[in-house]
Chains A and B, each alone.
Chain A
């Protein structure tokens, strides 16, 4: 089966959730990947949505973080204050899975504005649940399409913290979670360098060249010595993904 760039991105992201118990899910690309994980790499994964749905098992892909399907299929539905205070804040969720308008080389996220805050060129939706998801989940995985205007050197506005200014910054701020362990794009996978925290190219998707990835990255991208090529999506993964995104019932 052939596949497109978005499909290998989503499949790769779903594989990243293997072995995890719980995932706090952002809407959009993260939600598609997390729901695919439940149908492929991790059927028992507890999906948590900020609307208060814990252990949601939607049979169709939700369009919003509060679709009826999420509440009706959940193990429990709690209030919004409870989902943030009791479930997210103490650090009991394994993975926070986030999208972003922009990500910088240290994994910080902007979803607030492009340009000056007081007179923005583009006003984005804002923070939502992301600042505390990025702070309090044990680890964070970020998924974006790989473009120079999305993967930028520095952010004008940090909405959600990755590694901040670099090594030690999260710990100095008292944050409990490890921060972003992986940035998955439609071209490859970036992971933080253990010394510098800078996102470096760990894997490229089949058919993509390192030069293409560099050209689509807003900073001089370092490439890991052990650069891998992402395993192509299997027919089972693609079938599950397509039934999900085409709105078919995949229960």
Chain B
């Protein structure tokens, strides 16, 4: 049964130096507060996994937490580049970062395989592109029934998945709704999981189309109101588009970023 913890306790207990960590949330419900807590606790050598390493991974990369990045699209949505990510890849600042990149379909299927207890997933993907030339976790598999050659991608099984959801009850059952991305698969694929939530309630009343993660597949739940800001939590607050715009000049400039980092870690 999931433990109810503070964010600091959850990160301290579940996220260790050198871990493979997946913070998921597809535009909606991005666990930004948890990412900043990982920065505050000074984790190093992480393999960061995420389909869309947007602002939250730009911050972790700039802060020097990451040794590797596994991803499929790295940008500031609707604004432009992630400059801390680019500085790491192009100039090895603040340190070198190894990258492993995929398509969205490939990453989604890697989580599905991980959640399903399978070593790989099958899809029609990557064909004719240069992506597979640089990525050892893409290969081919021959269909035993038809002989067709299909694309195979290796399962992803992170040490820990971190997600944000709207609500949990006191037993750690988690409920989220709206665009729920690949979070269910990420939690089920991971060895451990930390879920931050907007609200802890006595009783989770059923909601149509909600994704529910029973408390017995979640390691810990932390009550972190506005924990997805500047992304949004449907039913609680809207996406803070101004923050995404304001991030651009901070991210572009090492000094401006250092100042931001001082404020976050103060």
- Which residues 49-73 of B sit at the A interface, judged by CB distance below 8 A? 51-52, 71-73
**A127 contacts B108, C-beta separation under 8 Å:** no
**B129 contacts A158, C-beta separation under 8 Å:** yes
- Which residues 126-163 of B sit at the A interface, judged by CB distance below 8 A? 126-131, 134, 148-149
Q: Return the contact of B72 from the options A89, A126, A136 (Cβ within 8 A).
A: A126
**B124 contacts A63, C-beta separation under 8 Å:** no
Chain A residues whose C-beta falls within 8 Å of the C-beta of B81 in the assembled complex: 123, 125
Instruction: Answer yes or no: A159 CB below 8 A from chain B CBs.
Output: yes
* A76 closest partner in B (C-beta): B209
**B182 contacts A130, C-beta separation under 8 Å:** no
**B180 contacts A85, C-beta separation under 8 Å:** no
In Å, the complex CA distance between A125 and B184 comes to 25
In Å, the complex CA distance between A27 and B182 comes to 19
Min distance, Cβ A98 to any Cβ of chain B, angstroms = 13
Min distance, Cβ B154 to any Cβ of chain A, angstroms = 16
Chain B residues whose C-beta falls within 8 Å of the C-beta of A68 in the assembled complex: 28, 178-179, 232, 234, 238-239
Interface centre among B78, B104, B134, by most A CB within 10 Å? B104
The interface stretch among B9-17, B84-92, B166-174, B194-202 is B84-92
Type the 1/0 row for A99-129, where 1 means its CB is closer than 8 Å to any CB of B. 0000000000000100001011111011111
Min distance, Cβ A62 to any Cβ of chain B, angstroms = 8
Q: A27-B78, A125-B73, A125-B75 are in contact. Are A173 and B128 (CB under 8 A)?
A: yes
Instruction: Answer yes or no: A72 CB below 8 A from chain B CBs.
Output: yes
Q: A125-B74, A131-B126, A161-B128 are in contact. Are A64 and B104 (CB under 8 A)?
A: no
Interface centre among A65, A157, A160, by most B CB within 10 Å? A65
**A53 contacts B179, C-beta separation under 8 Å:** yes
Chain A residues whose C-beta falls within 8 Å of the C-beta of B72 in the assembled complex: 126-128
Chain A residues whose C-beta falls within 8 Å of the C-beta of B178 in the assembled complex: 68, 71-72, 77
Instruction: Answer yes or no: A245 CB below 8 A from chain B CBs.
Output: no
In Å, the complex CA distance between A80 and B90 comes to 30
Chain A residues whose C-beta falls within 8 Å of the C-beta of B75 in the assembled complex: 125
Given contacts A77-B180, A84-B109, A125-B73, 11 further A-B pairs with CB under 8 A are A63-B239, A63-B244, A66-B181, A79-B211, A117-B134, A119-B90, A125-B75, A127-B73, A128-B72, A132-B103, A160-B129
